[in-house]
Amino acid sequence: MTLLPITLIGDKILRKKATRVTEVDMKTIELIKNMFDTMRNASGIGLAANQVGSDKSIIVVDISGVEDCEEFKPLVLINPKIISRSEDVSVFEEGCLSIPDIRADVERPESITLTYNDTDLKEITLKADDLLARVVQHEYDHLQGILFTDLISDDLKKKVKKDIIKIKMRKIEFQYPVTEDVDYQMQ
Ligand code: ZN
């Protein structure tokens, strides 16, 4: 099992748009395997490649450990693209392995339809609802350089500001390997 250090809010790669995958070679397969290991070790249910320092457009998801979701198989989404979103929205408390210990309500469409490539780069269309839609949208945002804390109310943003600074300065206890302190500057 290989655990990769998880990038944290403040790390530049989390603000970069992911690059399209045009070839799935051994290195890509290794990255996907390591992403699953890293996600599961951190008790996560979704992980985007930039959360382990890669700019590739890849997401892994595994919600099968969640109650009532046991039937969902783990998913690897390469080059995902959301092609439609439901008008119905839901509010759900989200967290993120790159923003540990912070949770906040986020409103998102309840269902989505997306296309993605599998590891043979075959295009697949997937309709996702409820928790799966939630996780996929959260991870999809990562690939666009968006974090869930960008989507919360201004009041909540103020509330979590200090905690985010602590994360950026690596001043909290981490339950899994994370990247080293970046040259954090107060700004
Ligand atoms: Zn996240």
Cα–Cα distance measured from residue 157 to residue 124, given in angstroms and rounded to the nearest whole number = 36
Centre of ligand 1 from the C-alpha of residue 124, in Å: 23
pLDDT at 112 over 80: yes
Evaluate the CA torsion angle 149, 150, 154, 157 in order and state its sign: positive
Cα–Cα distance for residue pair 5/40, rounded to 1 Å: 13
How many angstroms is it from 137 CA to the middle of ligand 1?
Answer: 10
From the candidates 23, 87, 139, 173, which is the catalytic residue? 139
Distance from the alpha carbon of residue 51 to the mean position of ligand 1, in angstroms = 8
Q: Indicate if the pLDDT at residue 147 is higher than 90.
A: yes
Burial of 106 (0-12, 13-18, 19+ CB in 10 A): buried
Q: Phi/psi zone of residue 123: left (φ > 0), alpha (ψ -120 to 50 degrees), beta?
A: beta
Q: What is the reported pLDDT for 181?
A: 73
- Span from the CA of 146 to the centroid of ligand 1 (angstroms): 9
Domain boundaries, the chain: 12-168
SS (H, E, C) 114-150: EEEECCCCCEEEEEEEHHHHHHHHHHHHHHCCCCHHH
Residue 135 has pLDDT above 60, yes or no: yes
Q: Between the ranges 110-114, 167-171, 180-184, where is the mean pLDDT highest?
A: 110-114
- Cα of 178 to ligand 1 centre, how many Å? 14
Active site residue 139: yes
pLDDT recorded at residue 187: 40
CATH of span 12-168: 3.90.45.10
Longest dimension (CA), the chain: 46
Q: Tell me: the pLDDT tens digits for 62-87?
A: 999 999 999 999 999 999 999 999 99
For ligand 1, the distance from its centroid to the CA atom of residue 5, given in whole angstroms, is 14
